[in-house]
Amino acid sequence: MSASPFAANGRSEVSRTLAYEVAHAPAAVKRAARALAWQGSEFLVGIADVESLVATLATVSDLDGVVRIGSVRQPRLELLRALYNSDARVMVERVALLPTPWAWRRIGDGAVTGIAIRSRAYWDIHEFVARRGLACRLLPDAATSDELISAGLEVGSAVADVDEAIEGDSLVDPAELSAVVCCGLLKRAVHPEADYFWLALTAQLERPGVLSVALSALAEIGVNLDFLHSDDLGDQRHAFYLGFRGGIDDLRHILAALTGLGFDSRLLAGFVEPE
């Protein structure tokens, strides 16, 4: 039997292991783990994508996960989908904000004619790259530091993780590369002091106007939504993802009200919103 999502997190975490999406450098994952106050093994498990990561957490009891959120009030849709599809009700239990993880470095003594960069870094800072007007040498996320340096030597520069062991002059202030990064800790419980929640709704009997019924009920309770996404489930039904601020008692009231109106609810996240 799975634990209640409202369970407190009082047990020791020292034997746990942390999994992450391989698109993110291990150094960045370790920084995120520190910011999230996660405790456990130094060993990290890289997994292909967020869907596979959540599915793995659902089957391995001593594994937690760290993910890039996007932002608390506009989370990644693929993350919401993966959490919704988790049989073990894996959810985001903690969130932290980190400074930009990227540094643009000169590689070698030649002219800077381009930028060698991994795919994840490119999508984080593509607007910055476009403003510079330099060609990109795009590498897969799994590219090693040596492969990044080799490509960087050909074009004169590379974007690497700030903690990656790559020598070279820093060409710009890191603040120019990206805004803060929002990361989350995946577990099977709501944070005991949670004040922000993501919820998924599905109507037991879907019909025109069904979402309006749920939204009216939430408005009567006093819930102000920060986001609302409709996701086609492919069987003439939809999942509705929404986020709002409130207390755990408010959450219980909301879940009870939605159940009474014929909705199935899935809690996707319950955490303290970072300032």
Q: Which residue in 23, 30, 19, 35 sits closest to 180, CA to CA? A: 35
The reported pTM is 0.79
User: What band does 6 get if pLDDT is binned at 50, 70 and 90?
Assistant: very low
Exposure of 199 by Cβ count < 10 A (0-12 exposed, 13-18 middle, 19+ buried)? buried
Percent of the chain with pLDDT over 70: 93
**Which amino acid is present at 243?**
G
Strands 17-21 and 63-68: parallel
CB atoms within 10 A of CB 166: 18
Which pLDDT tens digit goes with each residue over 151-205? 999 999 999 888 787 888 888 776 677 667 899 999 988 899 999 999 999 888 7
User: What band does 268 get if pLDDT is binned at 50, 70 and 90?
Assistant: very high
Q: What is the pLDDT of residue 106?
A: 93
Q: What is the pLDDT of residue 128?
A: 84
Which pLDDT tens digit goes with each residue over 37-59? 999 998 999 998 999 999 999 99
Domains belonging to the chain, first-starting first, are: 17-99+180-187 (3.40.190), 102-176 (3.40.190), 196-271 (3.30.70.260)
Q: Does 8 have pLDDT greater than 70?
A: no
CA distance 189 to 250: 17
Q: What is the pLDDT of residue 211?
A: 83
